[in-house]
Amino acid sequence: MAAPMRVAVLGATLAATTAFTCTPSTGSLRLAAAVHELRPSGMPVSASQLAAPKLRGATVLSMAVEKLDKRKERRRIVSSENFNRRGFAETKEEVEGVMVEEFTSDMIKELKANDNTLIRDNVTVKLATDFGFCWGVERAVAMAYEARSFYQDDEIHITNEIIHNPGVNARIGEMGINFVPAEEGVKDFSKIKAGDVVILPAFGASLEEMQLLDQKGVRIVDTTCPWVSKVWNAVDTHQRKDMTSVIHGKWAHEESIATASFCEDYVLVKDMDEAKYVAQYMLEGGNKEEFLEKFKNAISKGFDPDVHLKKVGIANQTTMYKEETAAIAKLFERTALKKFGPEKLNEHFMALDTICDATQERQDAIQVLLKDDGVDVFLIVGGWDSSNTAHLLEIVHMQGKTGYHIDAAARIKEDGSIEHRDHEGKIVLTENFLPKGKLTLGITSGASTPDRYMQDSVERVFLLKALEDAVPA
């Protein structure tokens, strides 16, 4: 074996035989240093940077690493005795009771029992047929609660928000579960010790994070939504067919970061306009420098559009607008058909169904509610960083209707104003947002929103209308 390589980390010196181990059979690189950094979502860095681990202040002289079989590496980690994807039967019943108390709503039950309609004084509430907590989100939150109850005396960490809901994340923190700290946009895993418990959120975690935690010898509780795992399986299929993954998603979103980490070559497109640009380059070529600049935050390391757009597979961030994902897939199918002909289409194009059922159902339900011309205002409840909730507002906006996206009931103020996220992503304040007189309110919520939070928001509307009636004209 070669002499130990030296690596400097935060002013310390570690022998490479301690800091790194390379498994020849998989070519996997293990990181076991004092500090490991990954930039979380929202920071102006590329997806390839987000997915790739770094050692702060480290100098690596040289190392030859075989190409990593990412599927094999993921399977190795999840098959470990320290990896839990099933939850905790011992605390399941207790947690079910707690979640019913904290998150369910008598008002929502009443709405569902009365054809999704509720009348109180001058306010009529109409509820979309599909809304709120999806199965994957409920499972993730339940597993986090179960872990806290099961490991009562152990240190527990979580690598990111469990879901995109500020209230639920606050509860996770109140339970003594430590969010991995980030300073200046850099995650710091140094406080995680062997034997600690680490929860992976519903969005999943990157392969590099999973490798690091595995090397640290922690007990992992994986709450990753099975629909997200389904996307990972899709991009693995692309990789095995030597295809580039075209991912419909936001490059800084936690789920897309995780998905990209399981790809070999990829480009992320956030919307149809970006997809058209990529498809046009695939068909006719173009200005490579312009392409690389345009997608500098959304491509794999070493991406070459002249090389990596000859064979493409379509995947998506599960919370994207499902009709747009389907349209993007059709666009690339037509592009490949035109460029390579029908006889070679399957060699150059692949699209597997990875659109989340829950996302689709909530989008379909708001479309139905929008057909009711009697609805005056739509209220969409869910985290401001929740992609699936934001798309519900976009659907309302595209139909030319009035809608407000709030992340908590407190955004509805006593003075009749509302602080909300608009369809462009800006947080704005609108005064006197409710029309005078009788009101019909359309209500829905994103897949990360408990029913109780929707009830709290509607109660605020009832209060404002009651105050309006109490004031003499």
SS (H, E, C) 426-463: CEEEECCCCCCCCEEEEEEECCCCCHHHHHHHHHHHHH
| One domain for residues 194 and 171 | yes
121 and 214: one domain?
no
Residue 13 forms part of a structural domain: yes
Domain presence at residue 115: yes
Residue 269 CA to residue 251 CA, distance in Å, equals 8
Out of 197, 225, 253, pick the residue that ends a domain: 225
| Amino acid of residue 145 | Y
Task: Give the pLDDT score at 267.
Answer: 98
Q: What CATH number does the domain containing 24 carry?
A: 3.40.50.11270
Strand partners, 182: 187
Non-local CB neighbours of 359 within 8 Å, separated by 6+ positions: 134, 318, 319, 320, 322, 388, 391, 447
Contact call for residues 275 and 248 (beta carbons, < 8 A): yes
Q: Are both 432 and 395 inside the same structural domain?
A: yes
What's the pLDDT at 353? Answer: 82
**Does 236 share its domain with 370?**
no
Spatial separation of the C-alpha atoms in residues 290 and 278, rounded to whole Å: 11
Question: Do residues 343 and 362 share a domain?
Answer: no
**256 vs 298: CA distance, rounded Å:** 10
| Tokens 């590329």 -> residue | 46
315 and 354 Cβ atoms separated by less than 8 Å: yes
Containing structural domain, residue 59: 6-86+136-225
Angle of helix 207-216 relative to helix 70-78, nearest 10 degrees, comes to 40
Helix (H, G, I), strand (E, B) or coil at 134: coil
Nearest to 144 by CA among 132, 131, 127, 160: 160
Q: What is the pLDDT of residue 10?
A: 33
Does one domain contain both 221 and 278? no
Calpha distance 371→369 (Å, rounded) = 5
Same domain, 267 and 343: yes
DSSP per position, 26-67: TTEEEE--S--B---TTSSS-HHHHHS-B-TT--------PP
Which amino acid would we find at residue 75?
R
In the prediction, which pLDDT does 355 show?
79
- Decide if 457 is inside a domain: yes
Both 244 and 130 in a single domain?
no
Helix, strand or coil, per DSSP, at residue 256: helix
Write b or e for each residue in 298-319: b if 16 or more Cβ atoms lie within 10 A of its Cβ, otherwise e. Answer: bbbeebebeebbbbbbbbbbbb
Count how many domains the chain has: 3
Which CATH number does the domain housing residue 254 bear? 3.40.1010.20
- Decide if 410 is inside a domain: yes
**10-residue stretch averages of pLDDT, the chain, 473 residues long:** 33 30 31 35 42 35 58 95 96 96 97 97 97 95 98 97 96 97 85 97 95 97 95 95 96 93 96 98 97 97 97 93 91 98 97 86 96 97 94 95 97 97 96 96 97 98 90 59
Residue 99: inside a domain: no
Kindly state whether residue 150 falls inside one of the protein's structural domains: yes
Q: How far is CA 447 from the centre of its chain?
A: 11
Distance in angstroms (rounded) separating the CA atoms of residues 318 and 435: 36
Same domain, yes or no: 458 and 364: yes
The pLDDT, as a whole number, for residue 473 is 55
The span from the CA of 288 to the CA of 336, in Å, is 19
- Residues 73 and 213 reside in one and the same domain: yes
Residue 95 domain-assigned (yes or no)? no
DSSP string, 298-366: SB-TT--HHHHTSSEEEEE-TTS-HHHHHHHHHHHHHHHHHHH-GGGHHHHEEE-----HHHHHHHHHH
Catalytically active residues, by annotation = 255
**Interatomic CA distance for residues 419 and 460, integer angstroms:** 13
Complete DSSP assignment for 285-302: ---HHHHHHHTTTSB-TT
The pLDDT of residue 461: 98
End-of-domain residue from the set 195, 225, 255: 225
254 and 325 assigned to the same domain: yes
> For residue 92, is it within any domain?
no
Helices 451-470 and 89-103: angle between axes, nearest 10 degrees: 10
Instruction: Select from 328, 355, 382 the last residue of a domain.
Output: 355
Q: Are residues 219 and 237 in the same domain?
A: no
What is d(CA 282, CA 284) in angstroms, rounded to the nearest whole number? 6
